[in-house]
Chains A and B, each alone.
Chain A
Amino acid sequence: MTTTTAAKPAATREAFGTSLEEVGKEFSHVVVLDADLSKSTMSMKFGKSFPDRFFEMGIQEANMIGTAAGLALGGKVPFCCSFACFLTGRFDQIKMSVAYSGANVRLIGTHAGVGIGPDGYSQQGLEDLALMRSLPTMAVLQPADDVETAQMIRALVTHQGPAYVRLTRQKLPRVHDEKYRFELGKLDVLREHGTDALLLGTGGTVGFAVEAAEKLAKEGLRLTVGNVHSIKPLDVSTLTALARKCGRVITVEDHNVLGGMGGAVAEALSETHPVPVKRLGIQDVFGESGEPEDLYRLHKLDTEGIIESVRQFVKR
């Protein structure tokens, strides 16, 4: 994987742990809950610095989510952490106690997608975006690198309304420099090689999308590359303008193609400016054990897979 800056690749969960501790220093109403995964979600950094504001909930995700809702209704800003699959697996608690109660909970789902690797399907959140997108008022976010993660976490201290943030276990190359400013609800245009197609990534696939576009540019296929950090609210106006310019869209995500970022893009464009949309992702099949690189290759989410799919799609 290429890096666009000299910085070392970092897992977004690591950046999360660091920035959570930072905002904890500044904002005394930030509290954190974890369900026996604080060493993995990296929330333990906060826990060590602020033990009074850190709630170890044991292996009780449903209770953790409800408790976070109560803390939010009591004026706190709770960051509620677990693996993406276990957290959003408690959908009813998120629906009732968080969303429908207007509780300002930040649900932090780490280890999302097949990118988690050998642990297999039971630990791979592959439907979390679809679930969270279906809840009114829920912001659904996924940062592409450590720079964006830090800014996103900071923005969520003051954001009004519940939010879901999807983080990765695997390290991701930096696609943003220090001048980058995250803006919730905006499409982040990363590269403008040209208007042959619009290529959209989110989270773990963004770095590969950037690299694929660079290689394709050398072949004469010039793409615009976007990072969809805000899957909801989706930046429909920028998306529509880019679709109009480029004429076709390829989405790539480590999530079921049903109901994820690609689904959101296709739904929006079908109403504003219908163009052909190719959705790369997990093609409505279960995940499985394997090395992350092998799984990305299998599902055509890596640079080569994206290049091959883009070539076929653009040729049509």
Chain B
Amino acid sequence: MTVVDLDITKRTPASLQLPPTDQPGPRGIPNGTLARLADEFRLDIVEMITRAGSGHPGGSFSAVNIITTLLFDEMRHRPREPRWADRDRLVLSKGHAVPALYAPLARLGYFPREELWTLRKLGSRLQGHPANMLCPGIEASTGSLGQGLSVAQGMALAAKLDGKDGTPRYRVYCILGDGESQEGQVWETAMSAPRHKVTNLTVFVDCNQGQIDGLVKDVMDLEPFVDKWKSFNWNVLTIDGHDFDQIKRALAAARAETGKPTVVIARTHKGVGARIFEKDIVGWHGKSPSRQEADEAIRDILGRLS
């Protein structure tokens, strides 16, 4: 049996030839590359949360494939110029999953990777929930659930006002949780975005099925969820939220849609990518692993990367 070095902070990520990100996507990054990146981010997420001693591994893991595809393959942005006016925006409304955003932002060069280990520590730019005034690459402060979609809608409206010949200046993406969709404000925006023809807004709902008090279907069932969005007059797509091909196709469909905002119902498994988390989706919503548990998860992920 080979000895595996579990200290992932010393691990050098595989090299990556990334085309310029300041052109509109898609950039044709192969699914295998995206999968490798997402797993490298999972390693970072486990390490960050373990060192912090608190955080939300389950919902970070379930969202990371979507976030990776958005930032590496789809969105137009400049890591060296975080406030570039023409950039596409990503609002992480389910703010507790922010480690899943910090890890790719660091990899892209928004801030040094070493800063990941300061998560939730005094003086860090990496707050427990997103804080846009502190951290480059974070577009809005979230963490009180239900609010990010309204903010994303406002950004998309600004892009429309600043557009040329009917083309909005940029596109806006928002990631909601399924549990978060119990918030009334989500449905206020669900009602207003088609009314205001916010067609440059694409929403992913990370339906990982778990929330703090139990399974979403037991705590406050959302079904029929797809029908709800359809009845609010959205372009509704349903995908396997782990599958990079399906994520990419949903993004292409959203780009092609000119009459309605798009919502992608992404069916996911909370904690996906580490068996220890997958086994107890409710339990791993909001607790940090012990060192031993973290090593178990890391071993699992490294097994796929080697």
Q: Which residues of A contact B (CB under 8 A)?
A: 31, 52-53, 55, 57-58, 60, 62-76, 78, 92-93, 95-97, 100-102
Q: How far is the CB of B226 from chain A (nearest CB, A)?
A: 22
How far is A92 from B113 in the complex, measured between Cα atoms in Å? 32
Contact flag A73-B192 (CB < 8 Å), given A65-B150, A96-B143, A102-B133: no
Are B156 and A70 in touch, CB under 8 angstroms? yes
Interface stretch of the complex, out of B4-12, B24-32, B158-166, B270-278:
B158-166
Tell me, in angstroms, the Cα distance from A73 to B158 when the chains sit together. Answer: 9
Indicate if the CB atoms of B85 and A75 lie closer than 8 Å.
Answer: yes
Q: Does B155 contact A (CB under 8 A)?
A: yes
Given contacts A58-B191, A66-B185, contact A75 B141 (CB under 8 A): no
Residue B280 CB within 8 A of the other chain: no
Contact with A along B174-217 (1 / 0, CB 8 A): 00000000001100110110011000000000000000000000
Q: Taking beta carbons and an 8 Å cutoff, which residues of B are in contact with A?
A: 85, 131-133, 139-144, 146-159, 161-162, 184-185, 188-189, 191-192, 195-196
Q: Which one of A31, A62, A76 lies within 8 Å of B150 (CB-CB)?
A: A62
Give the complex CA separation of A75 and B163 in angstroms. Answer: 13
Question: Which residue from B144, B155, B189 sits with its C-beta under 8 Å from A92?
Answer: B144
Contact present for B161 and A31 (CB under 8 Å): yes
Q: How far is the CB of B98 from chain A (nearest CB, A)?
A: 14
Closest chain-B Cβ to A164's Cβ sits at a distance in Å of 18
- Residue of B whose beta carbon sits closest to that of A100: B141
Complex Cα spacing A87 to B29, Å: 45
Shortest A160–chain B CB gap in Å is: 13
Contacting pair A63 B157 (CB below 8 A): no
- B147 touching A70 by the CB < 8 A rule? no
Indicate if the CB atoms of A73 and B188 lie closer than 8 Å.
no
A60 and B192 form a contact (CB under 8 A): yes
Q: Are A67 and B157 in contact, CB atoms less than 8 angstroms apart? A: yes
Q: How far is the CA of A67 from the CA of B149 in the complex (A)?
A: 8
Contacts of B155 in A (CB 8 A): 70-71, 73-74
Let me know if B192 and A67 touch, CB within 8 A. yes
Q: Are B154 and A68 in contact (CB under 8 A)?
A: yes
Q: CB within 8 A of B188: which of A55, A63, A97?
A: A63
- Closest A residue to B85 using CB positions: A75
Can you list 6 A-B pairs with a CB-CB distance of less than 8 A? A58-B195, A63-B188, A68-B154, A73-B158, A95-B144, A96-B147
Chain A residues with CB under 8 Å of B143's CB are: 96
- State how many angstroms separate the Cβ of B220 from the closest Cβ of chain A: 18
In the complex, what residues of B have CB within 8 A of residue A78's CB? 154
Inter-chain pairs besides A63-B185, A70-B156, A73-B151, 6 sampled, C-beta below 8 Å: A60-B188, A62-B147, A67-B150, A70-B150, A73-B139, A73-B140
Q: Give the residues in chain A near B150, CB-CB below 8 Å.
A: 62-67, 69-70, 93, 97
Contact A58 B192 (CB under 8 A): yes
Residues of A within 8 A of B195 (CB): 58
Closest to A33 in B: B154
CA gap between A67 and B184 in the complex, in Å: 15
Does the CB pair A52–B161 fall under 8 Å? Answer: yes
Residues on the B chain within 8 Å of A101, using CB: 132-133, 140-141, 151
Contact of B154 among A52, A60, A69, A96 (CB under 8 A): A69
Contacts of A65 in B (CB 8 A): 150
Residues of A within 8 Å of B157, CB to CB, are: 55, 67, 70-71, 74
Q: Which residues of B contact A76 (CB under 8 A)?
A: 158, 161
Write the chain B residue with the least CB distance to A75: B158
Within 8 Å by CB of A62, from B140, B159, B185, B196, lies B185
Chain B residues within an 8 Å CB radius of A75:
85, 158, 162
In this complex, what residue of A is CB-closest to B155?
A70
Among A53, A67, A93, the one with the most B-chain Cβ atoms within 10 Å of its Cβ is A67
CB neighbours of A68 from chain B (8 A): 154
A59's nearest neighbour on chain B, judged by CB, is B188
Q: Which residues from A are CB-within-8-Å of B154?
A: 66-74, 78
Indicate whether A69 sits within 8 Å of B151 (C-beta atoms), given known contacts A60-B191, A63-B188, A96-B142: yes
Asked whether, in the complex, the Cβ of A74 is within 8 Å of the Cβ of B189, the reply is no
Q: How far is the CA of A101 from the CA of B189 in the complex (A)?
A: 19
State whether A63 and B158 are in contact (beta carbons under 8 Å apart), knowing that A96-B147, A101-B133, A101-B151 are contacts in the complex: no
Which 3 residue pairs across A and B have the least CB separation, nearest first? A70-B154, A66-B150, A74-B158
